[in-house]
Each structure stands twice: as C-alpha cells, then as structure tokens.
Amino acid sequence: MRLLCLLTFACATTDGTGGPDDSADSGETGDSGVNTPPVVQMLLPAAGGTFAVGEAIPFEAQLSDAEDDPAKLDVTWTGADGTAYTIDNTPVPAGHLEGSLVLDTAGEYTLTLAATDPAGNVGTASVSFTVFVPDALPECVILNPAEGDLLAERENVILAGEVEDAETAAADLLVEWRSDQDGVLGESIAVGEGTVSLLVDDLSVGEHLLSLVVTDAAGGVCEDVIAIRVNGTPDVEIDEPRKGDTFDQGATIVFTGTVSDDREAPDDLDVVWYDETDDVSLCREPADAAGATTCSYGDLSVGEHKVWLGAEDGDRVTGWDSVTITVNEVPPDAP
C-alpha cells in the first residue's frame, strides 16, 4: 500500500493500483493523527522598540500550520489588558501577515498575536514595545528650599528637587542649579527615580531667584524657579575692653561696642551683652542711631570671663563678638 500526501497535508492511502483504500481516514490530522496548533512567528516590531505617539508602528508575522492552509486561520491581536486591536487579520495563503497600528497614548505595550485553526488549536506570539510623547520636555520641581524661605549668610543649604523625562533616563539629564545673583551654583546627577541635590554655603546676601534647570538629550528644557532671601548677619564688634584686660573684683567695667546691619537701622537691632562664665545677661539695651552700644557692670566673679556682644535683626539672625578678660581677687585690708 502506498501513502500519497498533498501540500495541504491531507493524505490518502491506495490499494496499490492507484485507487483509494476505503479503509483509510482522509481527515486533515497528519500521519500521527494529532492536529497540531499553528506556529506563529513575530517579525516586527522588534522587542523593546520605541515609537512616538501618532507614529505608524509596523507589524509583521509569519504563520504556518501542519494541517491547514494559513488562509484558513482565524487571527486576533490583543493587548495585555485584553484590548482587541485591528492590524491585519487576513493572512495570505503563504502565511505572511503585515500591517500597521497607530497609538495615541504613551506607555508600555505588549501585544499578542493568536492564530486559531479550524480544529480550535491556538498558536501565539507576543511582542513588547514603548510608545512615548515625541519631543516631550523634561519635568522638574524644587523641593528645598521653599518659596520665600529666609536663609542666613554662610548657612549650609541642601538644594533638593526631582526631575524626570519621557525619553531620557533621569541619570542622563543635565541638571544645573542657578541663581540670578551668583550664576551657576553647580550641577547634580539624578539618583533613583530622579532625586537631585546640591550642598551650597556661599550664597551672596540679598534676594535670589533660585532655578533648577534640566536639559534632556533632545535639547528640551525644564526650569523651576523660586524666590528666596539670604539675610546678612549683623556686624558686631567689641571695642572695649581688650582681650586680656584685667580688673579688680567689684570694679565697674565699662563695655563698649559697635553694631550694624545691611537692612536694618542699628537702633532697631536687639542688642545684648552676655557673660558666659557667670551665665548672666549684663545689659540689654538698644544701640544708638550710629550703632554705638555701652554697658556698665561691676559684679563679675573672680576669674577669667568670656563676654559676648550680640545683635539680632528682625529675622532673628544674630551676629556675635566676644572678648576674654580677667577679674582679680582683691585681698582684704591688713589689720
């Protein structure tokens, strides 16, 4: 008995004379009698590809089936969320399938091509790709300091923010911190999901427009701007006594000094004379209009004393100066 098989894989047996053998089954199940699923090979798009919103994404696949003509296969395209897509659902007899799809929403996509034969067997292939907004600008925001913050002169300040971009990895973004008064303060490299920071301690005194400027690989720029102020520390100087001066116990010591501020009148400053050794406030009176301050005190204990002069402005920023003096014990009168 001789076995004849056609290109469609439908087979018949003969009785040796060329005629069919009525005892043979002519169903399209192949030699093994098992109907196998279609084979699906995804050719396009390439896995991990990126496409712009509104761009025609090419799809191409090759289908085959051991028992059936590819034109008899039922083809569907489905997203990971179950969304059905129409790309090309009519394979040519040779099994080649191609078409295109335009997506108007950015995101990560996985599409599955399923081919079902007349017997209900299913073959599948999937591909994942990314759709992005073309030429999207980076995004950025300053987290610290806050709008309107008051900083002290020479204060250590951590500038902090967050950055991101649809096409460029956060670590690959060019990140600069700028001040309209001091120029470029420095650059940051984003870490994690886009956290950036920079430590500064030399912002000039005055009003600042502080900017976080981010540039992506395509030249797109984001800028976030806040207004802050750096308050100058009041200038304080002790004129008298001098370092190392000595005084007798009980003597009245006259302390003199000068105070000033870049924004406030000297007589508006809160001025205090303070003895660190005895932990006592010696005087707390305003300076005069010229900034002169005087304090007389005659009850310091015997020993070395560190005396401070402080001036605090309306923003509670204080400048200090100090001097070290000695108070000597006076021996009792001889009998």
CATH code for the domain of 255: 2.60.40.10
Contact between 307 and 322 (Cβ < 8 Å): yes
In a domain, 5, yes or no: no
**47 and 81 assigned to the same domain:** yes
Q: Give the H or E element holding residue 323.
A: strand 318-328
Residue 77 near residue 122 (C-beta atoms within 8 A): no
- Is residue 295 in some structural domain? yes
**Domain span including residue 48:** 39-132
pLDDT per residue as tens, the chain (335 positions): 232 222 222 333 334 334 334 433 333 444 456 788 999 999 999 999 989 888 899 999 999 888 888 888 889 999 999 999 988 766 666 888 888 999 988 899 999 999 998 889 999 999 999 998 777 789 999 999 999 998 988 889 999 999 999 878 999 999 999 999 999 999 999 999 999 999 999 999 999 999 999 999 888 899 999 999 998 889 999 999 999 999 999 999 999 999 999 889 999 999 999 999 999 999 999 999 999 999 999 999 999 999 999 999 988 889 999 999 999 998 876 45
Residue 93 and residue 161 in one domain: no
In the listed set 178, 206, 231, which residue is the last one of a domain according to the structure? Answer: 231
Residue 305, domain member (yes or no): yes
Tokens of 39: 């084979």
Q: Read off the tokens for 230.
A: 């750096």
Q: How far apart are CA 230 and CA 224, in angstroms?
A: 19
Residue 239 and residue 286 in one domain: yes
91 inside domain: yes
pTM: 0.49
Does one domain contain both 242 and 224? no
Ramachandran angles phi, psi of 22, nearest 5°: -60, -15
Q: Is the dihedral of CA 298, 303, 304, 307 positive or negative?
A: negative
Q: Which residues contact 72 (CB under 8 A, 6 or more apart)?
A: 65, 117, 118
Bridge partners of 163, per DSSP, are 140
Indicate the number of domains in the chain.
Answer: 3
Same-domain status, 80 and 123: yes
Both 196 and 153 in a single domain?
yes
d(CA 44, CA 125): 11
Tell me, yes or no, whether 113 and 171 share the same domain: no
Instruction: Please indicate, yes or no, if residue 12 is contained in any of the structural domains.
Output: no
Kindly state whether residues 46 and 123 are assigned to the same domain. Answer: yes
For residues 184 and 248, membership in a common domain is answered with no
Does residue 275 fall inside a structural domain? yes
* Residues 221 and 252 grouped into a single domain: no
**Do residues 145 and 227 both lie within one domain?**
yes
Q: Indicate the residue type of 212.
A: L
* Domain limit, last residue, from 216, 231, 246: 231
In a domain, 4, yes or no: no
301 and 269 in a common domain: yes
CB-based burial, 164-191: b 16+ in 10 Å, e otherwise: bbbbbebeebbbbbbbeebeebeebebe
Boundary-marking domain end, from 193, 210, 231: 231
- Residue 155 gets which letter from DSSP? -
| Angstrom distance (rounded) from CA 236 to CA 318 | 9
Asked if residue 62 is part of any domain, the answer here is yes
